[in-house]
Structure 1
């Protein structure tokens, strides 16, 4: 788009707010036929930071303000009043440019549950074609996977004996081997696939946006912070944003598409007058639509990490902390795009049930061959590795509320971790099962001792106390603009904001509830399906 003067207005068929996992998909698909003009707004910069494109670079981006919103929760009662850091991508590609790169779709049952809650067209059989459409699967096409799509899905490129030993240990502990967490069933132990292409991160900006950038009908604006959506009556008509200190307006002839994610999408709706009336009035915002569900039902995955001291100097701690080995790892990556720098935020892992009466797994384990006190901080000086417990379907619910009418002010995030007995019990049981895996013969020769929580932490009370003191996010917030037919649902099955015309939300915030796994792949699927619906409705 040409640089408009302050306050000048441009007009497009579609205005997309947020160039993250979903927004880049929308920009590509809606501009592909050449019939529609599309504007994509991103509050952050271009994805030019070199660490974005190196898989292990997510550790460098964890607290990099130039590409990260750096959010914090409000004090969490279930975690002893601690605030939990919430990194979210603020860059082309959004969180897909800074995440841990794991490609996990969730369980078939997740989507069937969405459908059973009245969301017609969102069952597993309905969404599988969109997963396959998006995918370029390294292993080839089959009943569950596609090839030729924009999103590269690959096997890991670093041989690691610890990661292999974890899978063997899990099998020894009674968990079946699973060669494909995204195939017939999720349950089992195996190796994660990643959104990488020949050793480089395959973000939505790289896979979807970059191939479309040469189209004359697609315009991309970075450093463009959306201020509010404008309405003509109950119809969304334009987006006001600020770029380089100047206010600008982009009118939408057809629709405004909000793709800011589970935090920024409800924030923008509330700033624009769509949300709980009392909240909006308290900040002096005129109410366009009293929608109590906007910002409601916030969900996230909590993780609790067990750190083990390794008997051999084969961990990433040993490589990164040794100047010669670190240089060698960098050279290997530069020459062959392989080696330790291709490690994602989980190499191997497992999905299992804490109770055999459950219909599907309720725990996910992420195994990584390094250790640290907190993610994004220096690795331990000793040889160590980490395995984390994540409860897949938490009952706890939180909220997202603006704390100010200033669009640049962070929202108030309350996730309410560990609020229910089910959630608390799942972590205690999950840690006990993980300890059985870590004590299995395949890992025994690698383990010196458990650094934390430590062998003396054994009772339910002590394990729960450890969870409260150390638990942190797995970076999967969802459901703050959730889909449904009930009074608190924000969007309908076609992702249109209920009670408003010309406005949709397309991102993880529309999920009726949290996926049993990582959220990037499902978010891309949602945007693929939304693109078809938007184009159908434009006819």
Structure 2
């Protein structure tokens, strides 16, 4: 291991999973680890100010700048598809919401893979291992006088900080009351395994600053001599060969660094943690994917893997907008230079106020109709409105009530468009492609209206701006959902894990690539089915579990 271009482990992608893996694997001083990141270091100031996501999404300094293919379910629209391109990956540009999902998600993974380690009971320890939860900061919980129920579910002293938000809005409090009037109970913790309820989201922040995985996991490890971090180093392709027994092996990766291609080797394993878009694309560029696709682009087929890039799942949020009266929203507060100055001053002095807020402050989880066995909708409620992220705020006071189907049955795919590693892959989500997803979309918009019609909201005289109260039929609402819906940035599933004897699953239950020795995938692409909530926390749990398996040779 004296060669400077040879390491025990190479991790491609310094995002949510990659940063945690680098920390855990380099904890052994005798293990050499190389972490590769195509983007720059996370020194861009807007990464660290919570509201800075507005300046990171759609900015090549921190975003891959992807777009989807025109989507039939969205009436032919193409969507901006943000993916983090900097140390910390998507944790540097996301909504900072800490959300595990539902216990049944992980019990389902255990069934689909035949590996009980994925069950909720066995995954909870992995969530807690890196968690540092504010409810455990000062002994007993101030709301109940007892923290025992939280200590059973949350961790203290880990690297991943979870805090309560540092602002509230009267109109959002009233929305929570209105949701309760429809039967959605108030919740103080969405992360118990059953997230049904309404309340403010917990966020990944520390004292009003964004807490990304670079700060959490790389900063404590940066001085380890056995950890090497390359930024602005984009993987071109994996290096694959057949050993003397004819087995296909991965022993490294070709990296473009400063415009020059260099090859680095992995003595033990190469780990793909490039995310649900870039991981399948890199596999395809390396000759691992659907054979017809590879041949079409002149790529040698190393292994025909038809499901690499398939099974794309994402949460599509339908963004209903309501004009309101008699209350402050961010539209008005940020409409003048004086208002903006006061917002900036409050953040500078107290680290509170609108600059400290995540994109969504209030959340709710409930059923789209009473026949559903569990909560299948997630609300993100915001005291602002705009046509799309990156666009100006509307010139009238309003709130946005976004609602998404947590368990979509539509499936899309990610496929390379050429053999050039610099070319963006083609992302085809196939939103609203099934009758079930279209029905849930229509039902969810009706439920939004039901909540907004409750007496708790009456003082604000809400007026539906989008999609428009004149639209009532299922057909109308489904079409309008296609017009106003957008991704909530949760792509998963494109290199899914499955049972060892599941020929369609690219990965085994321990995330090893079937048919290729020395190659493992650890990121959101491994999820066989999407979790019932935001996907950052589950991705960290996946990385925690994978790191333990790698250290013990499993």
Normalised by the length of structure 2, the TM-score is 0.94
CA distance in 2, matches of 1:417, 1:147: 39
RMSD: 1.4
The answer for the alignment partner of 1:3 in structure 2 is: none
CA distance in 1, matches of 2:23, 2:550: 13
2:325 paired with 1:311: yes
The answer for the alignment partner of 1:72 in structure 2 is: 67
Q: Is the Cα contact below 8 Å between 1:242 and 1:248 reproduced in 2?
A: yes
Query: CA offsets per residue over residues 237-261 of structure 1, 9 Å max, x none?
Result: 1111111111111110111000000
CA distance in 1, matches of 2:179, 2:356: 24
2:521 to 499, 502, 505: 505
2:506 to 483, 490, 508: 490
CA distance in 2, matches of 1:404, 1:124: 40
CA distance in 1, matches of 2:548, 2:213: 18
Q: Is the Cα contact below 8 Å between 1:9 and 1:248 reproduced in 2?
A: no
The answer for the alignment partner of 2:38 in structure 1 is: 43
* DSSP-derived class of the 2:234 partner: strand
CA distance in 1, matches of 2:461, 2:30: 60
2:378 to 353, 360, 364: 364
Q: Is the Cα contact below 8 Å between 2:113 and 2:497 reproduced in 1?
A: no
CA distance in 1, matches of 2:193, 2:93: 29
Note closer, same or farther for the CA distance 1:312–1:57 as it changes in structure 2 (3 Å cut). farther
The answer for the alignment partner of 1:285 in structure 2 is: 299
CA distance in 1, matches of 2:461, 2:71: 34
Q: Is the Cα contact below 8 Å between 1:9 and 1:251 reproduced in 2?
A: no
**In the TM superposition, what is the alpha-carbon distance from 1:469 to its structure 2 partner?**
1.3
The answer for the alignment partner of 2:196 in structure 1 is: 187
CA distance in 1, matches of 2:263, 2:476: 55
The answer for the alignment partner of 2:152 in structure 1 is: 143
2:464 paired with 1:450: yes
CA distance in 2, matches of 1:448, 1:275: 50
Alignment of 1:22-421 (within 5 A): 22-120=17-115, 121-140=117-136, 141-233=150-242, 234-421=248-435
**In the TM superposition, what is the alpha-carbon distance from 1:228 to its structure 2 partner?**
0.5
CA distance in 2, matches of 1:132, 1:365: 25
* DSSP-derived class of the 1:385 partner: strand
CA distance in 2, matches of 1:357, 1:90: 42
Q: Is the Cα contact below 8 Å between 1:144 and 1:184 reproduced in 2?
A: no
* Residues 161-170 or 260-269, more deviating: 161-170
**In the TM superposition, what is the alpha-carbon distance from 1:357 to its structure 2 partner?**
2.5
2:554 paired with 1:533: no
Note closer, same or farther for the CA distance 1:9–1:81 as it changes in structure 2 (3 Å cut). farther
User: Where in structure 2 are there 5+ consecutive unaligned residues?
Assistant: 137-149, 243-247
2:480 paired with 1:466: yes
The answer for the alignment partner of 2:7 in structure 1 is: 12
* Residues 458-467 or 104-113, more deviating: 458-467
Q: Is the Cα contact below 8 Å between 1:9 and 1:249 reproduced in 2?
A: no
Q: Is the Cα contact below 8 Å between 2:10 and 2:266 reproduced in 1?
A: yes
CA distance in 2, matches of 1:69, 1:239: 20
* DSSP-derived class of the 1:445 partner: helix
**In the TM superposition, what is the alpha-carbon distance from 1:447 to its structure 2 partner?**
3.4
**Aligned pairs, number:** 532
Query: CA offsets per residue over residues 245-302 of structure 1, 9 Å max, x none?
Result: 1111111011100000000000011111111111111111112111111001011111
Q: Is the Cα contact below 8 Å between 2:51 and 2:356 reproduced in 1?
A: yes
CA distance in 2, matches of 1:397, 1:484: 17
* DSSP-derived class of the 2:5 partner: strand
